[in-house]
Amino acid sequence: MLQHPYSHFTFQLKNAYTECDNVCLRHKQLSLCQIKLTILEKEDIRILVVDDEESLCEILQFNLEVEGYTVDVAYSAEQAITLDLSGYSLILLDVMMGPMSGFRMAQLMKKDEKTASIPIIFCTAKDTEDDTVAGLNLGADDYISKPFSIREVIARVKSVLRRTESVLHPESQQLLNYKGLTMNLSKKSCSVEGVEIPLTKKEFEILALLLKHKGKIFSREEILSQVWSDEVIVLDRTINVNITRLRKKIGVYGDYIVTRLGYGYGFEV
């Protein structure tokens, strides 16, 4: 059974990981609501941290969970391979563990069709060129040398996940859907129940913004910065006119574009 060190999390660091730019303390600047919102957005992404340094596992788990990911930890490769690895979106894997090394665990994963495509980021103090090349030749998606900044790890995790998503599901990056309303971002087209609807460039961009973030209310200032970022002067009425036209063009789906007086607009379902 997996251990969850989060319950007894401690900041008593005794080594170079104090270089983490105090990122491990960022929960002081995040409200509980912000954390819950992020978790809802990324709850389907599961990450496994495999490292024999318990304090490091605690830091990585905590900060990745603050980012909204579901995170499990294993303190050895032997423990990790007893898990159902196929359920993870990414694995952060230490190299210098014993008796089974991270390299050996990666080899076993790449030989199993159920786990061969899971991205791996090696985190290790072995930072020679030969070590890095060896890790990448094993199919690793990235290689981070210890000691490292937690911000760097999080940035690389996000980068690897973006690359993986775009490779495995390229079409998902280009389509926005809600019931019979479909937007193709690459073709810049919009259709309702299979019938293409002619939208102006600004109408298309407004709808894409709202549909991509269903349930979020955007202020006028936010819409202006996203859709009219290159314009010098834009009247508030310009947004009203575009929203009104957009509602009419997309028919019944126009009712989902809501106005919150004093706040802005959103696509609510």
Enclosing H/E stretch for 123? strand 120-124
136 shares its domain with 189: no
Highest mean pLDDT among 23-37, 190-204, 235-249: 190-204
**Per-residue confidence (pLDDT) for residue 237, from 0 to 100:** 80
- Residue 152 contacts by C-beta under 8 Å, 6 or more apart in sequence? 144
Residues 188 and 164 in one domain: no
Check residues 49 and 30 and name the one with the higher pLDDT: 49
Q: Which tokens go with 183?
A: 């937007």
CATH of the domain at 25: 3.40.50.2300
Q: Are residues 187 and 118 in the same domain?
A: no
pLDDT for residue 166 is more than 80: no
Backbone region of residue 168 per phi and psi (left: phi > 0; alpha: psi in -120 to 50; beta: other values): alpha
What pLDDT is attached to residue 14? Answer: 35
pLDDT of residue 228: 83
How far is the C-alpha of 123 from the C-alpha of 208, rounded, in Å? 38
Q: Which of 103, 138, 169 is the last residue of a domain?
A: 169
**Residue 76 sits in the same domain as residue 101:** yes
Q: What is the pLDDT of residue 7?
A: 37
Q: Among 6-20, 44-58, 117-131, where is mean pLDDT lowest?
A: 6-20
pLDDT (tens digit per residue) in 58-90:
999 999 999 889 999 999 999 999 999 988 999
Sign of the alpha-carbon dihedral angle for 75, 77, 81, 87: positive
Statement to judge: residues 163 and 191 lie in one domain:
no
| Statement to judge: residues 160 and 197 lie in one domain | no
| Residue ending a domain, choose from 154, 169, 184 | 169
Residue at which a domain ends, from 103, 136, 169:
169
Q: What does the pLDDT read at residue 147? A: 84
User: 111 is in which domain, residue-wise?
Assistant: 5-169
211 secondary structure, DSSP code: H
Question: For position 80, what pLDDT does the model report?
Answer: 96
Q: Residue 257: give its domain's CATH number.
A: 1.10.10.10
The pLDDT value given to residue 231: 58
Shared domain check, 125 and 59:
yes
10 and 39, same domain (yes or no): yes
For the chain, the average pLDDT equals 80
- Same domain flag for 209 and 134: no
pLDDT digits (tens, 9 = 90+) for 172-195: 457 888 999 999 988 889 999 999
Q: Are residues 186 and 210 in the same domain?
A: yes
Dump pLDDT digits (tens) for 216-263. Answer: 999 988 998 888 876 556 676 888 899 999 999 999 999 999 999 989
How many structural domains comprise the chain? 2
Peptide bond into 99 cis (omega under 30): yes
Q: Are residues 159 and 209 in the same domain?
A: no
Domain check: are 68 and 191 in the same one?
A: no
